């Protein structure tokens, strides 16, 4: 009975040892290779050939979708900032700063890579540096652009008003003023493209007003010139007429070229000269007619005197 018990104890001990050996053997065995890249088993001592950082999400790993999206966003930001700078005259307004920012953008475009997370991040950084440079440039370029645009608007409005458009075409001036106010609001709201559109609308109204006023002044100058011609001013007061006629010709030339501001000014200047020449010519005509009338009257008086004298002489002879 005792021997039978001992045999069962020995059998249980053997089974426990066998189980422990199996566990230890499995833990120490390398995983079976499925042929995947980076899991080679052909190196000395069974050392793995996994590339550092590729299997654990390090800088050498392929970029995830979030990284690729960030790269697209950075590229789009830089491109939009560059376009804004171009559209608002940065290359001519601030050429040195433009060249610097554009160089960063060119570098970002040429060195754009997205094979690994590190390359992707480096590309993102390059685009962001370009975008930062363009945005800093735009803050100054757009301010200068709108300062120049405001000056242009004021000059256009003043030219239209000086040409008489405020009285002749008040609706056009009013439309221009409304558009100019809208441009200012959009600019303050940083809606730069809308602000520029509104400013261009205002300019068009002030210019359509100036052109229309210049047309009215052309008609007035032509009428004044014809009146002077009818009064023979080109003969009676040749110098004054020639002066006005020179201005009139210059105005016509400017009008044909579309320089309505210069045309309107010259038309306005020549009108009073034509009118003065016409009045002076008419006055000379009046004086000449009066002189002729007096001469005629004197001749008539002389004839009467001669006839009276002749009668007296004839009476004396009788």
Mean of the pLDDT values across residues 214-231? 95
Mean pLDDT check: name the lowest of 65-79, 140-154, 279-293.
279-293
Give me the phi and psi of 151, to 5 degrees please: -60, -40
Residue 215: what pLDDT?
96
As a whole-number percent, the residues of the chain with pLDDT over 70 amount to 77
Q: Which two tokens stand for residue 116?
A: 């690994």
Distance CA 50, CA 312 (A): 155
Residue 306: what pLDDT?
64
Residue 311: what pLDDT?
65
Mean of the pLDDT values across residues 130-144? 95
Q: What is the pLDDT of residues 91-109, one digit of tens each?
A: 999 999 999 999 999 999 9
Give percent helix, percent strand, percent coil of the chain, each to the nearest 5: 85, 0, 15
Mean of the pLDDT values across residues 257-279? 94
Sign, CA torsion 75/80/85/89: positive
Average pLDDT, the chain: 82
Residue 308: what pLDDT?
66
pLDDT at position 126 over 50: yes
DSSP string, 63-94: P-HHHHHHHHHHHHHHHHHHHHHHHTTHHHHS
Mean pLDDT check: name the lowest of 26-35, 61-70, 122-131, 191-200.
26-35
Give me the phi and psi of 243, to 5 degrees please: -60, -45
Residue 39: what pLDDT?
36
Under the banding of pLDDT at 50, 70 and 90, the label for residue 258 is very high
Residue 309: what pLDDT?
57
Residue 150: what pLDDT?
95
Mean of the pLDDT values across residues 45-57? 40
Distance CA 250, CA 254 (A): 6
Under the banding of pLDDT at 50, 70 and 90, the label for residue 297 is confident
Ranges assigned E (strand) in the chain: none
The answer to whether the pTM exceeds 0.85 is: no
pLDDT at position 24 over 80: no
Residue 295: what pLDDT?
82
Under the banding of pLDDT at 50, 70 and 90, the label for residue 35 is very low
């Amino acid at each position: 009975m005792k021997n039978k018990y001992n045999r069962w104890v020995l059998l249980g001990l053997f089974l426990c040892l066998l189980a422990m050996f199996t566990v230890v053997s499995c833990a120490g065995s390398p995983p079976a290779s499925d042929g995947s890249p980076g899991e080679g088993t052909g190196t000395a001592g069974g050392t793995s050939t996994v590339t550092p950082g590729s299997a654990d999400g390090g800088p050498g790993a392929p970029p995830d979708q979030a990284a690729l999206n960030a790269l697209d966003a950075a590229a789009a930001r830089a491109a939009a900032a560059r376009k804004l700078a171009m559209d608002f005259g940065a290359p001519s307004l601030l050429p040195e700063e433009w060249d610097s920012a554009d160089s960063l953008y060119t570098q970002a475009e040429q060195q754009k890579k997205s094979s690994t997370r590190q390359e992707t991040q480096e590309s993102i950084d390059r685009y962001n540096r370009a975008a930062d440079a363009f945005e800093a440039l735009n803050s100054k370029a757009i301010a200068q652009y709108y300062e120049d645009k405001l000056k242009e608007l004021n000059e256009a409005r003043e030219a239209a008003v000086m040409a008489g458009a405020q009285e002749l075409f008040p609706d056009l001036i009013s439309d221009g003023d409304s558009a100019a106010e809208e441009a200012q609001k959009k600019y303050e709201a940083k809606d730069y493209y809308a602000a520029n559109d509104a400013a261009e609308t205002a300019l068009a109204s002030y210019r359509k007003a100036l052109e229309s006023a210049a047309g009215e002044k052309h008609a007035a100058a032509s009428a004044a010139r014809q009146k002077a011609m009818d009064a023979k001013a080109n003969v009676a007061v040749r110098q004054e007429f020639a002066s006005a006629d020179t201005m009139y010709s210059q105005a016509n030339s400017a009008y044909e070229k579309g320089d309505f501001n210069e045309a309107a000014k010259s038309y306005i200047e020549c009108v009073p000269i034509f009118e003065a020449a016409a009045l002076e010519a008419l006055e000379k005509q009046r004086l000449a007619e009066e002189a002729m009338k007096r001469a005629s009257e004197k001749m008539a008086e002389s004839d009467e005197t001669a006839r009276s004298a002749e009668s007296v002489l004839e009476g004396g002879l009788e």
